[in-house]
Chain A
């Protein structure tokens, strides 16, 4: 089936296709002149580049998010364009047959490796597939991959499992010698994956990344700076009571919103193909695109952004763990006040207060 008839089979006209391509072009910050090139790349990609999709410790929410995008969304088009060779949730094969098929595809090499879920490092037995540790499977698959795209908070930085006892780590902590494009989020947003895969197909190189290996096109701006409730923040209107209808549009900062600490394009690029996003639905931002998103647990001393509805003002001190600067500050300042009071008593008792400091001060004899 050629590309055109496959589009028609999906109930899409060529115009629909070009509109989807234009949206992606704009989202990636490419100039409009790139549009024909992107369309051409997608058509060329109808030759179906191979994708291997591994799943570690996770909830399958990222797969769910991608597969449930509005039908037929641009994401589905691109997923149809890719030849997903191995995906535990959606593939028909199972058991040894599936594992052999994975090995065979790894031998061919040159595929795009998409990883969903974190990797246990405390003990390999926390996650095995067909008796093989997940870490070994990932290392074998990564060795021959063209590029790796970890999707979701778990695969990128350990995510929610990082708060547990498995020593959950992201792909970047295990694989060091391959190009990695982190697409965090809980779950990942379908159009991030679409755009990243397209970018990779068009230019055959990794997009511009920040120091957390996230594409700047999607994670280059602070959510807080683009928030639809920013006006209320500037005016000092903060939601304090969920039951007050008068406050329902107010800034969610005091209710634990992590928007001021989170880099994402959620405010410009809404979820579920533009239906809504957390803050617009009156939920505080959970900070799910940040490495420190759920990093609070016995295995990780970084300060996390959880819990959702509380302001997290703690900071991490090496060897000590999470410390609330407010508590530390009040203790230190309080100790200074008490110390000054005690010292004042000493000053009075020793009669030092009445001395003329100008004359008495001097080098110790």
Chain B
């Protein structure tokens, strides 16, 4: 079956996500601990601009997942019953992974969690940037120190996701890496033959 698992809109959103999250992590760590002087104003500016673009990108991606030409919202539907089997596969207790469609049950949960974490980063970040605005109630309830710590902790969670994501892509589906960034069509079958990938449904 000749197919591409990710279409250009998804690929574009993914690349924008990656670049912006790297910018956000870099500037974020600088803002957290400015060991080298002179860049704070620039770092904050870049951080805020990147954050808003990331949120717009996320909003567009969610819209596209449901209503786009190559909509793929169904690919992310959680499959909790199949989750233990997938975990057994990763623990070498089984040789068969669960893959109905594009993503296995763990992938689905992980990507949904990333969406949630980005939204949480947006909320806490907005509270930190404009503490007197719409987030004033949240700021007063938790205290800015707590919100700042939360924002920083979520950064680490996202970095952890990045590590696991990269490792699993490289070891499980190395061909997906070039496909995701270069868009090369590859001879690729995902799941058993009767299963459909995103493109076939479009």
Contacts and interface: CB of A to CB of B under 8 A. Distances in A.
Nearest to B171: A347
A359 B163 CA distance: 26
A262 B144 CA distance: 8
A34 B137 CA distance: 30
Contacts of B92: 346, 350, 352
B100 A234 contact: no
Nearest to B187: A358
B98 to A, nearest CB: 7
Given A236-B36, A361-B97, A261 B190 contact: no
A238 B37 contact: yes
B150 A233 contact: no
B152 A313 contact: yes
A9 interface: no
A176 interface: no
A353 B167 CA distance: 12
A109 interface: no
B167 A210 contact: no
A364 B156 contact: no
Contacts of B85: 364
Given A233-B40, A315-B149, A362-B192, A325 B144 contact: no
A290 B153 CA distance: 22
Contacts of A290: 143
B99 interface: yes
A234 B136 contact: no
Interface range, B side: 35 or more
Interface in B175-194: 175, 187-192
Nearest to B39: A236
B190 A235 contact: no
A326 B41 CA distance: 23
Interface string B80-93: 00000100001010
Contacts of B202: none
Nearest to B149: A315
Interface stretch (A48-56, A276-284, A331-339): A331-339
Contacts of A352: 92, 95
Given A235-B38, A236-B36, A329 B159 contact: yes
A15 interface: no
B54 to A, nearest CB: 20
A150 to B, nearest CB: 16
Contact of B163 (A302, A303, A333): A333
B148 interface: yes
Interface in A281-317: 287, 290-292, 302-303, 305, 312-316
A290 B147 CA distance: 14
B78 interface: no
A306 to B, nearest CB: 11
B157 interface: yes
The residue among B95, B143, B188 with the most chain A CB atoms within 10 A of its own CB is B143
Given A325-B156, A357-B173, A303 B145 contact: yes
Contacts of A312: 145
Interface string A129-140: 000000000000
A125 interface: no
The residue among A314, A315, A328, A347 with the most chain B CB atoms within 10 A of its own CB is A315
Contacts of B69: none
A272 to B, nearest CB: 27
23 contacts: A210-B140, A211-B136, A211-B141, A236-B36, A236-B37, A237-B38, A260-B144, A262-B144, A290-B143, A303-B146, A305-B145, A326-B152, A329-B155, A329-B156, A336-B160, A336-B163, A339-B164, A352-B95, A358-B173, A358-B188, A358-B190, A360-B95, A364-B96
Interface of B: 34, 36-41, 44, 85, 90, 92, 94-100, 131-132, 136-137, 140-141, 143-146, 148-150, 152-153, 155-157, 159-160, 163-164, 167, 171-173, 175, 187-192
Report the 8 A-B pairs with minimum CB-CB distance, sorted nearest first.
Answer: A329-B156, A315-B149, A325-B153, A261-B144, A236-B37, A340-B167, A364-B96, A234-B41
Interface of A: 210-212, 220-222, 233-238, 253-254, 258, 260-263, 287, 290-292, 302-303, 305, 312-316, 325-326, 328-330, 332-333, 336-337, 339-340, 343-344, 346-347, 350, 352-353, 357-365
